[in-house]
Amino acid sequence: MTTTQTPGRTARARSTPYGLSLLALAMGGFAIGTTEFMAMGLLPQIADGVGVSIPTAGHLISAYALGVVVGAPVLAFLGARLPRRGLLVALMAAYAGANALSALAAGYGLLLLARFLSGVPHGAYFGVASLVAAGLAPRGREGRAVSMVMLGLSVANVAGVPVATWLGQHLGWRSAFWVAAGLAALTAVLVTALVPASPGDGEATGRRELSLFAEPQVWLTLLAGAIGFGGMFALYSYIAKVVTQVGGLADGAVPVFLLVFGLGMVAGTYVAGALADWSVFRSLLGSSAAMALLLLAYAALAPAGWWALVPAFLVAVSSSVLVVNLQLRLMSVAGEAQTLGAAMNHSSLNVGNALGAWLGGLVIAAGWGYRAPALIGSALAVAGLGVLLLAATTARRVPGLER
């Protein structure tokens, strides 16, 4: 992976313990992951709380995703020249405020707006945090540093999401959003204390950042993420109803499924670093194909109750491998537009989030049942694989394919 280096890199790495800096950056991923994914497990409670149907409540997931899609390029474009540590703190402060607004929302309309606003800082945070982590890393270990930032997102599904879901079920869904606001505020404090000052890109210009969109491989990578990652969200958005109504399990089983899904994401993020060292592009192809097959397996095993945990875990593994390697590939093909390129990964992934949740809601509303979203998800994963194959055939040199 090619990473832009800065003259003060070595000095910054010596002044602050490298591991603590990564921990602070990963805490932001933990806060964002908890906030984004807990809504799926609490969807029935939120729907009841604001008086809407499950498919209508699913639009709250899409609203968050659309916030990411809008916020990532806009904030990355505007913030490319700003000091990166200060920008990260500001993004987390805004994230805390938007989640507090979600907790206070009295009706569906305000909650929908609050969820959109919550998504706005998401992609820019991960993009800037990835650049900071890569800049602090020893040479040759930039990819592993970026995966450590992403690991916070995965760990959230092991610890943050199950706990927030349990709190939401027992203390009301609003309590979960207060927890999310607190985690974001804690991240702002940790980043201020533990992440070394990092200047923005003083040479960044609007024209240079926008040059990103002149590269066909960037568009194909974004499209692969937007379509392929939608497969995971088609399943995950409605997992609570699949577990209880299709699998015949009690509400208490939902946090268990979320925990297992989170363990799969942690395992996948860890494996993704090693796979990226082998081949970024082959990892993308393999994870997309695996996800398509595993979503079919989940649909088949959903009525078997606890047995569905196995494909759920493996879907999470494959989706995390896809996410990390998409991030690394975008940073490779972005050229000089590093800030915008790094941020656009999560914009792309949250198009997939919105697409998967929307299509899943459509097939449920059409009466196809709660297993149908997993089938839609498999089709999306296959389509994403097709885009990656197109990218391989149209590039003279595909970053990572030769490794």
Flag the least confident range among 158-162, 169-173, 323-327: 158-162
Q: pLDDT by residue (tens digit) across 178-214?
A: 999 999 999 999 999 998 887 766 665 566 666 677 7
Q: pLDDT by residue (tens digit) across 117-138?
A: 999 998 889 888 888 887 787 7
| Segment holding 222, helix H or strand E | helix 216-228
Location of structure tokens 């979503």: 295
Query: 182, exposed or middle or buried, with CB in 10 Å at 0-12, 13-18, 19+?
Result: middle
Which one-letter DSSP state was computed for residue 242?
I
pLDDT at 140: 65
Band (pLDDT 50/70/90 cuts) for residue 114 is very high
260 phi and psi angles, rounded to 5 deg: -65, -40
Q: Are 315 and 264 in contact (CB under 8 A)?
A: yes
Taking 50 as the threshold, does the pLDDT of residue 7 lie above it? no
Both tokens assigned to 266: 């942690």
Instruction: Specify the higher pLDDT residue, 395 or 96.
Output: 96
Location of structure tokens 């309590």: 175
pLDDT at 385: 94
What is the pTM for the complete model shown?
0.74
Q: pLDDT by residue (tens digit) across 378-403?
A: 999 999 999 999 988 886 554 444 44
Taking 60 as the threshold, does the pLDDT of residue 2 lie above it? no
**For residues 389 and 399, what is the distance between their CA atoms, to the nearest angstrom?**
13
Flag the least confident range among 20-34, 73-87, 135-149, 234-248: 135-149
Flag the least confident range among 48-57, 241-250, 304-313, 370-379: 48-57
10-394 maps to which CATH number? 1.20.1250.20
Q: Are 229 and 319 in contact (CB under 8 A)?
A: yes
Tell me which residue of 120, 18, 14 sits closest to 64, measured CA to CA. Answer: 120
pLDDT at 308: 92
Spans of all domains in the chain: 10-394
pLDDT at 345: 81
Residue 104: how many other CB atoms lie within 10 Å: 13
